[in-house]
Amino acid sequence: MTKQSAFTADRNKIERSFMVLEPIVISGFKTRFSLLKTAIASGGVVGGIRPREKRDNSNRFFFLTSLLILFFASAAFADTFVHHKTNEKLHGYVTSQKTGSRTFVQTAEKGMVQLELARWKVTPDRTGRNKQVIIITLDKEIILDIETTALEEAFREAADKGPVCILFEIDTPGGREDFARRLCSAVTATKNCEVIAFVKGGEFGGALSVGAALALSCDQIYMADNTVIGAATLVNVSEKGVQDLKESHGEDIGEKISSAWQAYLASLAQQNDRPGLLAKAMVDKEIEVIEVTKGDKRLFIDPVNKRQDQQLVHTWSKKGSLLTLTAEEAVKCGIADKMTGTREELLSDKGIGTAELIFDEHLLKARKEFQIAAKRQYNLRKSIDLQTKDLMQTEQLQKALKLFRGISADFKSLITLAKKYPDFGMSVQALEAELNTIESIYKNLKINARRRK
């Protein structure tokens, strides 16, 4: 038997291996993002995307999450420190770094020091802070892990630089619920620096879907004219497209997930004295909300709970439609703090109009990195496809061995990308299984080639 005919005899085994190879390489990236874009187009504006793999974990950590939100909300950022016993006074700002019970504090008098904050009276008066405003911008949907991680890092690092405040500019149609929760946690954990949401005008016109949750997680909310906030129901994205949670998960589980999300938004709202029931009405179209007064008290309640001694002021939400508020309405009902025309007006209103503006670049760098990685992934897929076609056509054993080496190297590079960038949706396990098959065939062919010499 010649080398060529021996190689031809192994062709059926090679073809069986590469029947699995093509879907693994081609699927994932294009399919995943077409589904996400569909979700944004058809449901993202009126509802967040809930990743299918999270379906059974909706309520598991909700109670703990709520406690953390309330804890971080109660811890004020501070700039003047007075020791309870010695009356020593320092000016500066708290960082997120800790060693045991001691927190790293940047001070004007002593530089970086470690303080047990329980022994100090702290006052948020901006004394000792850098006269800077760090601006973090979200102007797209939240569907990538790499971008979410970049924004988490941005908030943590910005707060540790001691600016007067962090200005979080938001214009988003929504995105994935799990990523939004991570970003909300990043904001509420930024207890050493004030975070102000600026719902600005733009392509999407406001803070919609999970974008509403992001705004509610901030210490204050300013809204530009002609922007909106709300419509925060969840939808599920799968191979079937965009579905209502009750349709995709069943009546009971869908209701539990929705209820947990409602409670989460309500807790975000209430941490800054915003009406929690209005936040819930952004999620569930069956929730009705009216505003009533009794003496000096202003309440937002379900109409069925209205008492005779309460005076009806306004009906904010009716059954059948998700609550979406204009800037004027949001301010009027207490969801937002103020309306503003521009960023400059906002900063002037806060008394920091002369502060230096620092534009955070974490998100831009992450997007650029992902574009480069996506191009690399595409080129690897294309290289594997071309080499596979050549392999199926060649009758030369040595050429086949060379092609196998090239395909193996490309697969190893794909596995590296899959591990580093989960956004590609590539299964590391499946890629590694195919690599093992390829290397096994290559090893056997190489042994046969040596025997025939």
pLDDT tens-place string over residues 361-400: 999 999 999 999 999 999 999 999 999 999 999 888 889 9
pLDDT of residue 395: 86
The pTM of the full predicted model, rounded to 2 decimals, is: 0.78
Look at residue 35 and tell me if it is in a domain: no
Sheet holding 311-317, edge to edge: 297-301, 289-294, 311-317
Band the pLDDT of 161: cuts 50, 70, 90: very high
Q: Which two tokens stand for residue 208?
A: 């919609």
pLDDT surpasses 60 at 28: no
Q: Are residues 214 and 345 in the same domain?
A: yes
Q: What residue numbers bound the domain in which 446 lies? A: 3-28+366-452
Residues in the chain: 453
pLDDT surpasses 50 at 6: no
Rounded distance, CA 450 to CA 125, Å?
Answer: 79
Query: For the segment 313-352, what is each residue's pLDDT rounded down to a tens digit?
Result: 999 999 999 999 999 999 999 999 999 999 999 999 999 9
Q: Are residues 171 and 270 in the same domain?
A: yes
More confident position, 30 or 83: 83
Q: Are residues 431 and 343 in the same domain?
A: no
Q: Are residues 421 and 340 in the same domain?
A: no
Give the Cα-Cα-Cα angle 122, 166, 206 (nearest 5 degrees).
135
Rounded distance, CA 284 to CA 423, Å?
Answer: 29
Alpha-carbon distances, residue 28 vs 32, 37, 287, 383, 425 (angstroms) = 5, 14, 38, 17, 5
More confident position, 19 or 164: 164
Look at residue 420 and tell me if it is in a domain: yes
The H-or-E segment that residue 92 falls in is strand 89-99
pLDDT surpasses 60 at 56: no
Q: How far is CA 157 from the centre of its chain?
A: 17
Look at residue 65 and tell me if it is in a domain: yes
Query: For the segment 263-301, what is each residue's pLDDT rounded down to a tens digit?
Result: 999 999 999 999 999 999 999 999 999 999 988 899 999
Query: For the segment 396-409, what is each residue's pLDDT rounded down to a tens digit?
Result: 888 999 999 999 99
Band the pLDDT of 48: cuts 50, 70, 90: low
pLDDT surpasses 90 at 137: yes
> Residue 351 sits in a domain of what CATH number?
3.90.226.10
Closest C-alpha to 167, from 370, 369, 349: 349
The H-or-E segment that residue 184 falls in is helix 177-188
Q: Are residues 296 and 173 in the same domain?
A: no
Q: Are residues 308 and 268 in the same domain?
A: no
Write down the residue that tokens 């800077």 correspond to.
132
Q: How many domains does the chain have?
A: 4
pLDDT of residue 50: 56
pLDDT of residue 49: 59
Band the pLDDT of 252: cuts 50, 70, 90: confident
Look at residue 85 and tell me if it is in a domain: yes
Q: Are residues 65 and 92 in the same domain?
A: no
pLDDT surpasses 70 at 178: yes
Q: Are residues 141 and 86 in the same domain?
A: no
Look at residue 268 and tell me if it is in a domain: yes
Q: Could you tell me if 181 and 65 are in contact, meaning their C-beta atoms sit under 8 angstroms apart?
A: yes
pLDDT of residue 26: 31
pLDDT surpasses 80 at 126: no
The H-or-E segment that residue 7 falls in is helix 3-9
pLDDT of residue 450: 80
Residues of the chain above pLDDT 90, percent: 67
Look at residue 260 and tell me if it is in a domain: yes
Q: Are residues 199 and 67 in the same domain?
A: yes
Name the domain boundary from 66, 101, 122.
122
- The per-residue pLDDT of the chain, averaged, comes to 84
| Helices 145-160, 177-188: inter-axial angle, 10-degree rounding | 0
Q: Are residues 57 and 193 in the same domain?
A: yes
Average pLDDT over residues 34-44: 36
Q: Are residues 143 and 204 in the same domain?
A: yes
Look at residue 34 and tell me if it is in a domain: no
Look at residue 33 and tell me if it is in a domain: no
Q: Are residues 109 and 163 in the same domain?
A: no
Closest C-alpha to 3, from 393, 387, 394: 394
